[in-house]
Structure 1
Amino acid sequence: MQAGKLHAPYLKKFLKKLISEVELNHGDVLDELYELYAHFMASLKDSDFEKGNARVFKCISFLFPDGCSKLSSCPKSRKLMAPLQCSLNMLEGDTGCSVWPSSLFLSECILSFPELFSNKSCFEVGSGVGLVGICLAHVKASKVILSDGDLSTLANMKVNLGLNHFSVETDMSETTEDPNMVKCLHMPWESVSESELQNLKPDIILGADVIYDPVCLPHLVRILAFLLNPKKLYPEKGSGNHLGLSLESKCTDGKVNGTHQGSAGNGDKFQAFLPKRTENSATNAGLKKGSMAFIATVIRKIETFNKFCALLDSANLTIKDLTDSLRPFNLLPHMHSYDRTGVRLFAISCK
């Protein structure tokens, strides 16, 4: 037993080198090797358990079914592996380092409909472990910008990007053509300024399980309104109840009233929700017209979701339920703990 512990650091380095070489040569890495590598990484961090910062390593295996070979996101092996460092302390406030069902669902959507995200500038709010960003980079989004308001979550996210062979940039002013570069920003919703938001210029905004806390909703909607509706100068923090909130009922059964219902699995139907782009897309705020936000969430409290809808309405934004019309492939068939049935996918845009 002592000998095993003595050689663990060597074995960890050997496995890392072996896995990297196989991936570099486009070979198939056995799941057992990933699991063994994750075991050594976790076992060498025993001191973290004593400090209450326990982390475990998971490997999310996206398995593409038959008939997906023509998808640009589908590897030749039909398997995409995403190793992640996650938290064991979800009940102690470390939610940002946990893998949530909505994050898995949004990742499946990105991989199932890569043409919607490739060559697009994508910005995620509340990025957590970074899984959505990893999938965005995989489908070759032109720019991937991840953000979180918690510094420990941000540090963990950077670790995960490194595990998946992506470089990290923390300066928004820097521009790079490196397809393996992902930007990571510290962005507390309540204090982010308009000047910081103005530099983002995203085509697509994404968020997974970001509307569960009613206290944070006005700050989130402020960000969405500025990025999606740049014509309107949106008030800075501290300007009072600028939304003029009127909490009218928007939802009764987990679905937004008047949402589009379409056939499953048809990505073309998504185009109907995209705002028309114009030749002159520049605005006084320096942002693009026609941006769209995708929010995947489990509706835990109807009251909280209704508040979110009311805030969006007051901010001149509209929300549509795309869950049935933009249904992704089941890419996680062996993850039995993942319940996709409770996750809803919403599109948010200007009215």
Structure 2
Amino acid sequence: MRDSIQRIYGALLTPSKLPDQIHLSQEELVEHIIHDEHFQTYPPARSYQLKFWKHIVEKIELANEEADERIYERHISLLSQGAPSPFDYMNGPPAPSYITRFWNAPSSESNVRTSRRSIALLESRTTIEDGTTGMRTWRASLILAEWLIRRPEIVQKKRVLELGSGVGFLGILIAQLDGMRKSKLDETHSGLRGVPSLALTDVNRTVLERCENNISLPPNWFDATSLDRKESLKAQLEEINAEVIIGADIVYDLDLIHPLIETLGMALSAGSVSPQPYRREGLIALCARSEETLSRFIQAADSRGLDLRSEEWGSLGDDIFDDGWGGESQSSVRLFTVTLRQSRGTTQKILHSIS
């Protein structure tokens, strides 16, 4: 029941598609819609929510059932914000809405884990917005997506180019399919030939901006800390077999520190580097804007078994690159060399120095 309820609600489908006995599933409606963290963060348009809960309340009343007060509260709360008018179109097109599409990998595919996935997009609710039709997902994309879900080998481990990517639905799906591989990357590839990549393109700059924003939504991310995805990420990192891992200004959000450190740890320990003995290393440059964020980053690295060594910038000047911002000096940027721990102490010393 959860799947059908969330699929309908997330995709803004007509509530009439709900099961006839939906009034008997009030607890599921509360748990999987009202209290669901995803829908709290990425809710459908308010006009759709009104239509959805009106349908539910009517179903409950027609069945002479006692309604859960949380359902009534949600409906009343939406009504209190004003009911939509048939003349609203005169004030302009409806605002974009979050649309979430859920899908399951078929269990018949031996090279794909059976797992429920979601794709959340901010989409237009009109045919044309800003002079383009690319701000929403169209039927052909949905059909092609279903086809690829049943034939994931077409895009897995491949370098894929999508033309006219629109708001990013197909691209995100392809990335999720590739992230669900159980097997190691094809060992017959060498160098970058075996490294999957995905390029999304469009002719409209506004569409590309919307696409980029949608790709960055957390529900669409590849979560390195998720147990069912670590195996796939590990295989990709082993294929890349990087000797140096670099990153700049990627430590800015407390929620991202754990997956970042987990990915760093996997990249530093993946594959083999020759000639031996060679210790691969990471170079992370970050702006020390928040002492808490910096401290959490260092603590997370220590817990993961990574050693951080603070590097000195030396006599670097500002004569090569000038970003024109003027707000952050060289001294506010910290540089760390990251390696797998050989002996304890380095990271602890850094922690002590900032405490």
Could you say which TM-score interval applies, normalised by the shorter chain?
0.3 to 0.5
Larger radius of gyration: 2
* Higher RCO structure (Cα 8 Å, ≥6 apart): 1
TM-score, scaled relative to structure 1: 0.33
Structure number with higher helix proportion? 2
